[in-house]
Amino acid sequence: MPPKPRPSEAVAKPPTVLASTVVIAETASLTGTFPIKIGANTVIHPRAKLASAHGPITIGEHCIICERTQICPPDAEGLIIGDGVVVEVNSVVEGSVVGAGSVVEVGLNCKLGPLTKVLEGEVVEDNTVIFGSGQRRIDASGTADARRRLLERHIESLRVLIPSNPSKFIN
């Protein structure tokens, strides 16, 4: 008996632009009607949800989008995630612009700790670290380059571990 079609497959696929070196797991979900663009060397873990029902999604190069994350742009202006961004497990991203090297408008090289929240319309400056119950500080250690190198190694190892199936998402 053939397996029953899953309801998620009945939903129309969004127009996607995937770079050739993207690692995208088969069980990631890309839904919606607006286009989704994913840059080179980005890793999308299984069960990550990218929903472009309300606006386009653009993800830069060298990003890691972990499982159980939800990326949903709030309006038609869309959501842009810069280069080298790691979106960790269980995160919800509904902001508009996320700067390069960081994890609402978030500046460059920011780090948001676990379970922290950024309110609507808030602008987080470059190099900010948000931690604990909403405390903030500016990271002046200048380790952005080192972190970027670590991230690239991380992506190299994930390339081995996560079976990629971009053809499922191209239409």
Which range touches other proteins (CB under 8 A), out of 15-23, 75-83, 94-102, 156-164? Answer: 156-164
For residue 67, state whether it binds other proteins (rule: CB under 8 A).
yes
For residue 92, state whether it binds other proteins (rule: CB under 8 A).
no
Residue found under tokens 């890793």: 43
Question: Per-residue x/- mask for other proteins, residues 118 to 147, rule CB under 8 A?
Answer: -------------xxx--------------
For the segment 23-62, give every residue that binds other proteins (CB under 8 A). 27, 46-47
Strand-pair category, 128-131 with 135-138: antiparallel
Q: 142 and 125 in contact (C-beta within 8 Å)?
A: no
Question: What is the 8-class DSSP label of residue 25?
Answer: B
Nearer to other proteins, 49 or 54 (CB): 49
Nearer to other proteins, 61 or 80 (CB): 61
**DSSP class per residue in 39-108:** -TT-EE-TT-EEEESSS-EEE-SS-EE-TT-EE--SSTT-EEE-TT-EE-TT-EE--SEE-TT---EE-T
Residues at the site binding other proteins, with contacts judged by CB under 8 A? 27, 46-47, 67-68, 89-90, 113-115, 131-133, 150, 153-154, 156-157, 160-162
